[in-house]
């Protein structure tokens, strides 16, 4: 789908990528329905707190080293800033930088502003951010309140920009506008693509943009890319405005996460001529092979990649065998964002584990290059059809399902979810670092992490004995997905089969 | 002065859903956008002493996740559905519907929906907490107000039973430990605390609020509204004690004040105080060698905290530990009406010492002001984890005592009372010692 940089806002994922937050069935069915274009979202009669796109947008942009953010809304909408700052401390610390706090100002919208309009406080906020931080650019993130009362954000921003002479860029991310929090990444990237990235003056054939989060894998990637004659440029986090403005110079863009990178990668490809590598994620061996091979194909380094991978295979083989032997047949439930989920399902199956259920916190029926996500398609190529569901971290579905399928381990991503498996006595791993299971050595590391989690589960066991879950017995006896509308559900009998057989 | 805020230390009105979570088996039902809960719980929970989801917090909270559809067409249908199903799915004793910006701006009639459930005898109340109405401390009082108005029934008074309104759950990072310590102190006088929040709480205690003989507000201003409301509705008298009692000077004064208010025999009170103080001074005597090692000692302290912690800690460090208060930054968005009263409390220190107070919830402004201070020794900054940066830059000692605290795991710790003061001394001097060891 084309990325339109003449629009002031990114189109939300529901409209652009036919993304959904409600589905239950199997991976093959999901892929088939996506490809035939008939995938529909199921709504729920009961729902629990999820996340919104504003958090993703301002969290991601807040890591740009010389930019500032003005969050236009009541103070609660900046409630995530403490979390963004914690992440920022981590990112600076692993770089050995002098640590400072994130630069986010909230306009503290009061009842008065809600009634009479918030344009004035927004202007004040922008000027204050300029005065305090002397940033190279200011991003203005919107809120539910600013969206509903209809503040004229764009004209206020233009006026402020004329006064201070740096880019002041709107980032439309009202919480209610999209059910898919990843729309916030697109909103952030849209702001960068429209106002920060400049057409390349010269091309740098050795340079590869790597879209990631905190970027703990920098050293490893730099080494690998170095062998291929390539130089990685990591971002967007911990880059500055000048560096981002030159992302158009690169020979290719690649991402650690398909959900994250789709908008920026394709936006750079469509509008600045930088090819985007749409590969599997580099988690697990087959994913990493695909990721690096596709990159090699894009930048003409096929031979170098082939040599490197052949060497790694030999080196890693004995340890991988040992891990596979220990993990064989262990039942696992995965719960992550869509790209991570579908990539980890493949990776864990590759390790010989049995993925008995895959939750993804949303699902994009396609990515911005037009096709169904490659990690999803890849899972349809085997005989096995894995049961999956899509939910925006709907806790009642997850808990209910876990109580029925009783896996040996739950592997999750996103804060506030894996703990629930622990409370049920199930060993859990929370993948917070995007470079967990990266490449050959990362895969081995992660294999050992699973083995360790299975070796001593005393925390979970003891917790589960003494605490009560907040669910009624009635609920735990129901079908986990009974609050999803029928639209997307498999027939009752098939559904029972998937859930109850375990 | 601009009204915008940086480095936030409290959240919006809706953040008071955390107060509901502080009552065992009470369940918030949030009618708001999809991100509100996750955002608010970041500042109040996960980045505030790493207070996690507990029984029904975090992603377990029933929520309408209002989308464009609800904003355009109204969200009442969705809310009704979620409430109905919550009763089937969630195992709870009291349900509190809280609204966010979306609902309050578009004007969903949440009262009408809730009243229908109330009429069926369901234990449910509602409160409009759209984020633009103010801080979560205001929200905390609104939640209690809704429970008082819509749920509590008059009861026969039980002599000696006391409701305590003090630390605000989750906002005050050490709230559950604080409550435990306050309960110990109050119990030692022979009174019986009615435990509304924390590990010993229950919805039964909520229902028993009208039974109390007294309400005790132990806070500069939060809770006064609650106590006044209870006085109006049930005639319960209350005592307002503005300072959180930390250390022997304040805590002993506190016990005497409460004793007098409740008509307890002064001999009993003095006996209790003596025991507590004896224990306190046993330990303090042992610490004194190091405390007097002047090479290490911070002499002056800056506090950046809610009025509750700022006042309590300032009193202790000044009146008991011989430190000198520099500027005291009060970050809880203290309502204008209360500010002069709160400021006056900072003028009542030993030796005629007066501390200058600055009311601002804009952490960026606070940071600028701290950087302007000229301090002739390594200062001690008692603030939140936001202050770690400025403390490093100024070569100050830093201890996190106020929200958000991302750099400490906080469980049952409290700085309240005699024991809490010992804990605070341990923590401050551990910072000092860790700095060079
Ligand atoms: S300010 Fe409004 S939209 Fe923002 S978190 Fe609070 S209630 Fe939600």
- How far does the CA of residue A177 sit from the closest CA of chain B (Å)? 5
Q: Do B211 and B353 share a domain, yes or no? A: no
Q: Do B50 and B28 share a domain, yes or no? A: yes
B269 inside domain: no
The answer to whether the Cα torsion of B316, B318, B322, B323 is positive or negative is positive
B274 inside domain: no
Q: How many domains does chain B have?
A: 3
Question: Across residues A49-65, what is the average pLDDT?
Answer: 96
> What is the edge-to-edge ordering of all strands in the sheet holding B124-127?
B26-31, B94-99, B124-127
CA distances in angstroms from A369 to A77, A267, A287, A366, B317, listed in the order given:
32, 9, 19, 8, 62
Neighbours of A7 (CB within 10 A): 11
Question: Across residues A199-204, what is the average pLDDT?
Answer: 96
| Phi, psi dihedrals of residue B371, rounded to the nearest 5° | -65, -25
B389:A101 CB<8 A: yes
Burial class from Cβ neighbours inside 10 Å (0-12, 13-18, 19+) for residue B257 reads: middle
Residue A152, domain extent: 53-178
The two tokens of residue A497 are: 């089969």
Nearest CA in chain B to A472: B91
**pLDDT tens sequence across B60-88:** 999 999 999 999 999 999 999 999 999 99
Q: Do B105 and B145 share a domain, yes or no? A: yes
Instruction: Determine contact, residues A335/B59, Cβ cutoff 8 Å.
Output: no
**pLDDT tens sequence across A207-220:** 999 999 999 999 99
A176:B59 CB<8 A: no
Instruction: Determine contact, residues B414/B424, Cβ cutoff 8 Å.
Output: no
Kindly report whether the peptide bond that precedes residue A236 is cis, defined as omega within 30 degrees of 0. Answer: yes
CA distances in angstroms from A479 to A473, A493, A496, B81, listed in the order given:
12, 11, 8, 18
Counting as low any pLDDT under 50, the low residues of chain B are: 1
Q: Please say which residue of B151, B185, B219 terminates a domain.
A: B151
Interface predicted TM-score of the whole assembly (ipTM), two decimals: 0.96
- How far does the CA of residue B100 sit from the closest CA of chain A (Å)? 9
Closest atom of ligand 1 to CA, residue A75: 1
- How far does the CA of residue B359 sit from the closest CA of chain A (Å)? 16
Contact residues on chain B for A132, CB-CB shorter than 8 A: 6, 364, 368
A269 inside domain: no
Closest atom of ligand 1 to CA, residue B102: 3
Instruction: Determine contact, residues B11/A79, Cβ cutoff 8 Å.
Output: yes
Buried b (16+ CB within 10 A) or exposed e, B399-422: bbbbbbbbbeebeebbbbbbbbbb
| Predicted local confidence at residue A494, as pLDDT | 54
- How far does the CA of residue B136 sit from the closest CA of chain A (Å)? 9
Would you place residue A488 in the very low, low, confident or very high pLDDT band (cuts 50, 70, 90)? very low
Gap from CA of B99 to ligand 1 centroid (Å): 9
Neighbours of B31 (CB within 10 A): 31
A106:B55 CB<8 A: no
Q: Please say which residue of B262, B293, B312 terminates a domain.
A: B262
A451 inside domain: yes
B272 inside domain: no
Nearest CA in chain B to A395: B60
**pLDDT tens sequence across A154-173:** 999 999 999 999 999 999 99
A79:B90 CB<8 A: no
Cβ of B83 below 6 Å from ligand 1: no
B60 inside domain: yes
Instruction: Determine contact, residues B230/B210, Cβ cutoff 8 Å.
Output: yes
Residue B233, domain extent: 161-262
Q: Do B68 and B190 share a domain, yes or no? A: no
Nearest partner of B139 among B233, B305, B228, B28, judged by Cα: B28
Q: Do B419 and B288 share a domain, yes or no? A: yes
Give, for ligand 1, the residue of A109, A113, A143 to mutate: max count of ligand atoms closer than 8 Å to Cβ.
Answer: A143
A45 inside domain: no
Cβ of B101 below 6 Å from ligand 1: yes
Cβ of A73 below 6 Å from ligand 1: yes
Cβ of A74 below 6 Å from ligand 1: yes
Q: How are beta strands A23-26 and A387-390 bridged, if at all?
A: antiparallel
Q: Do B37 and B79 share a domain, yes or no? A: yes
Q: Do B432 and B288 share a domain, yes or no? A: yes
Gap from CA of A81 to ligand 1 centroid (Å): 13
| Phi, psi dihedrals of residue B99, rounded to the nearest 5° | -105, 160
| Predicted local confidence at residue B350, as pLDDT | 92
Neighbours of B278 (CB within 10 A): 10
| Predicted local confidence at residue A414, as pLDDT | 86
Q: Do B429 and B288 share a domain, yes or no? A: yes
B170 inside domain: yes
| Predicted local confidence at residue A80, as pLDDT | 97
Q: Do B426 and B298 share a domain, yes or no? A: yes
Cβ of A76 below 6 Å from ligand 1: yes
Alpha helices in A300-337 (DSSP H): 302-327
In whole angstroms, give the CA distance from residue A36 to residue A300. Answer: 34
Q: Do B290 and B424 share a domain, yes or no? A: yes
A106 inside domain: yes
Question: Across residues A20-27, what is the average pLDDT?
Answer: 96
B15:A474 CB<8 A: no
A231 inside domain: no
Gap from CA of A74 to ligand 1 centroid (Å): 6
| Predicted local confidence at residue A463, as pLDDT | 95
CA distances in angstroms from B30 to A147, A181, B70, B102, listed in the order given:
20, 18, 14, 11
**Averaged confidence pLDDT in chain A:** 94
Nearest CA in chain A to B41: A79
Q: Please say which residue of A162, A178, A194 terminates a domain.
A: A178
Q: Do B139 and B176 share a domain, yes or no? A: no
Q: Do B236 and B319 share a domain, yes or no? A: no
Percent of chain A past pLDDT 90, that is, above it, reads 93
Cβ of B131 below 6 Å from ligand 1: yes
| Predicted local confidence at residue A486, as pLDDT | 62
B102:A181 CB<8 A: no
Q: How many domains does chain A have?
A: 2
Which CATH number covers residue A414?
Answer: 3.40.50.1980
**pLDDT tens sequence across A107-144:** 999 999 999 999 999 999 999 999 999 999 999 999 99
A431 inside domain: yes
B4:A78 CB<8 A: no
| Predicted local confidence at residue A499, as pLDDT | 54
**pLDDT tens sequence across A383-412:** 999 999 999 999 999 999 999 999 999 999
| Predicted local confidence at residue A415, as pLDDT | 83
| Predicted local confidence at residue B49, as pLDDT | 97
| Predicted local confidence at residue A500, as pLDDT | 47
B406:A483 CB<8 A: no
A283 inside domain: no
Asked whether the predicted pLDDT for residue A444 surpasses 50, the reply is yes
Q: Can you point out the beta strands (E) in B176-277?
A: 192-194, 214-218, 238-241
- How far does the CA of residue B261 sit from the closest CA of chain A (Å)? 39
> What is the edge-to-edge ordering of all strands in the sheet holding B192-194?
B192-194, B161-165, B214-218, B238-241
Q: How are beta strands A104-106 and B5-6 bridged, if at all?
A: antiparallel
A21 inside domain: no
Q: Please say which residue of B151, B179, B210 terminates a domain.
A: B151
The two tokens of residue B247 are: 């250390």
Contact residues on chain B for A114, CB-CB shorter than 8 A: 101, 105, 132
In whole angstroms, give the CA distance from residue B92 to residue B83. Answer: 12
Asked whether the predicted pLDDT for residue A360 surpasses 90, the reply is yes
Asked whether the predicted pLDDT for residue A492 surpasses 80, the reply is no
Which CATH number covers residue B225?
Answer: 3.40.50.1980
Q: Please say which residue of A122, A146, A178 terminates a domain.
A: A178
CA distances in angstroms from A471 to A49, A477, B56, B200, B203, listed in the order given:
15, 10, 9, 21, 17
């Amino acid at each position: 789908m084309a990325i339109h940089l003449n629009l002031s806002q990114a189109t939300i994922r529901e409209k652009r990528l036919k993304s959904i937050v409600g589905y239950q069935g199997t991976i093959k069915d999901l892929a088939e329905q996506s490809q035939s274009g008939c995938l529909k979202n199921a709504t729920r009669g009961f729902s629990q707190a999820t996340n919104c796109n504003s958090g993703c947008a301002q969290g991601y942009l807040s890591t740009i080293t010389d930019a500032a953010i003005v969050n236009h809304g009541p103070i609660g909408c900046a409630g995530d800033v403490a979390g963004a700052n914690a992440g920022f401390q981590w990112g600076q610390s692993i770089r050995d930088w002098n640590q400072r706090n994130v630069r986010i100002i909230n306009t503290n919208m009061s009842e008065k502003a809600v009634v009479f309009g918030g344009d004035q406080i927004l202007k004040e906020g922008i000027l204050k951010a300029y005065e305090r931080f002397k940033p190279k650019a200011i991003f203005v993130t919107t809120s539910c309140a600013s969206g509903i009362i209809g503040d004229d954000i764009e004209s206020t921003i233009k006026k402020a920009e004329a006064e201070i002479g740096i880019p002041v860029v709107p980032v439309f991310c009202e919480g209610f506008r999209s059910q898919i929090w990843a729309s916030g990444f697109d909103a952030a990237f849209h702001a960068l693509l429209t106002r920060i990235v400049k057409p390349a003056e010269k091309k740098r054939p050795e340079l590869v943009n790597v879209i990631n989060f905190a970027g703990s894998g920098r050293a490893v990637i730099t080494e690998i890319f170095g062998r291929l004659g390539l130089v990685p440029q990591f971002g967007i986090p911990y880059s500055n405005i000048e560096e981002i403005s030159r992302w158009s110079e690169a020979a290719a863009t690649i991402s650690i996460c398909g959900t994250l990178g789709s908008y920026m990668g394709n936006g750079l490809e469509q509008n600045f001529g930088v090819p985007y590598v749409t590969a599997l994620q580099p988690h697990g061996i087959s994913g990493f092979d695909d990721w690096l091979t596709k990159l090699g194909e894009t930048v003409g380094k096929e031979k170098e990649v082939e040599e490197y991978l052949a060497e790694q295979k030999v080196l890693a083989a004995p340890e991988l065998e040992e891990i596979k032997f220990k993990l064989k047949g262990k039942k696992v439930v995965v719960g992550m964002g869509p790209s991570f989920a579908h990539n980890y399902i493949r990776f864990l199956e590759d390790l010989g584990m049995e993925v008995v259920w895959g939750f993804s916190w949303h699902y994009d029926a396609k990515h911005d290059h037009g096709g169904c996500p490659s990690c999803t398609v890849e899972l349809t190529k085997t005989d096995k059809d894995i049961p999956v569901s899509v939910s925006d971290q709907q806790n009642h579905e997850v808990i209910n399902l876990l109580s029925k399928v009783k896996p040996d381990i739950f592997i999750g991503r996103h804060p506030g979810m894996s703990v629930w498996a622990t409370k049920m006595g199930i060993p859990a791993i929370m993948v917070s670092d995007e470079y967990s299971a990266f490449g050959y050595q990362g895969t081995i590391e992660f294999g050992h992490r699973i083995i360790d989690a299975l070796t001593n589960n005393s925390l979970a066991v003891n917790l589960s004995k003494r605490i009560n879950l907040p669910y009624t017995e009635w609920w735990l006896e129901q079908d986990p997905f009974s609050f999803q509308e029928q639209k997307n559900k498999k027939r009752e009998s098939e559904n029972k089969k998937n859930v109850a057989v375990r | 002065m601009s009204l915008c805020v940086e480095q936030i230390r409290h959240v919006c009105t809706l953040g008071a859903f955390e107060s509901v979570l502080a009552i065992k088996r009470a369940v918030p039902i949030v009618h708001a956008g999809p991100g509100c809960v996750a955002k608010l719980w970041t500042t109040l929970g996960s980045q505030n002493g790493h207070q996690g989801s507990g029984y029904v917090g975090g992603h377990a909270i029933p929520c309408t996740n209002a989308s464009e559809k609800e904003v355009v067409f109204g969200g009442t249908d969705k809310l009704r559905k979620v409430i109905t199903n919550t009763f089937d799915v969630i195992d709870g004793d009291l349900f509190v519907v809280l609204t966010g910006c979306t609902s309050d701006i578009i004007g969903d009639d949440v009262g009408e929906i809730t009243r229908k459930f109330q009429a069926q005898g369901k234990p449910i109340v509602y409160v409009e907490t759209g984020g633009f109405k103010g801080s979560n401390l205001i929200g905390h009082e609104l939640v209690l107000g809704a429970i008082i108005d819509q749920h509590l029934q008059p009861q026969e008074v039980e002599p000696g039973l006391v409701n305590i309104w003090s630390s605000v759950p989750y906002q005050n990072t050490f709230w559950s430990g604080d409550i435990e310590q306050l309960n110990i102190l109050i119990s030692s006088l022979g009174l019986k605390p009615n435990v509304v929040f924390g590990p010993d709480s229950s919805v039964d205690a909520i229902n028993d609020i009208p039974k109390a003989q007294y309400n005790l507000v132990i806070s500069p201003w939060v809770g006064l509204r609650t106590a006044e409301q209870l006085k109006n509705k049930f005639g319960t008298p209350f005592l307002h004690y503005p300072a959180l009692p930390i250390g022997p000077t304040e805590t002993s004064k506190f016990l005497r004040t409460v004793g007098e208010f409740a008509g307890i025999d002064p001999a009993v009170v003095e006996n209790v105080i003596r025991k507590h103080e004896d224990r306190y001074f046993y330990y303090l005597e042992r610490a004194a060698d190091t405390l007097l090692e002047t090479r290490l000692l911070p002499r002056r302290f800056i506090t950046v905290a809610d009025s509750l912690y700022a006042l309590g800690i300032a009193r202790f460090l000044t009146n008991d530990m011989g430190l000198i208060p520099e500027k005291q930054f009060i970050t809880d968005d203290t309502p204008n009406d209360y500010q002069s009263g709160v400021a006056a409390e900072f003028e009542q220190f030993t030796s005629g010492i007066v501390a200058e107070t600055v009311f601002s919830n804009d952490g960026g402004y606070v940071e600028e002001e701290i950087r302007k201070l000229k301090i002739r020794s390594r200062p001690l900054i008692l603030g939140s984890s936001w202050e770690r940066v400025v403390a490093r830059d100024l070569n100050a000692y830093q201890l996190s005592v106020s929200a958000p605290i991302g750099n400490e795991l906080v469980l049952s710790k409290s700085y309240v009372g005699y024991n809490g003061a010992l804990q605070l001394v341990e923590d401050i001097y551990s910072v000092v010692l860790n700095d060079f060891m």
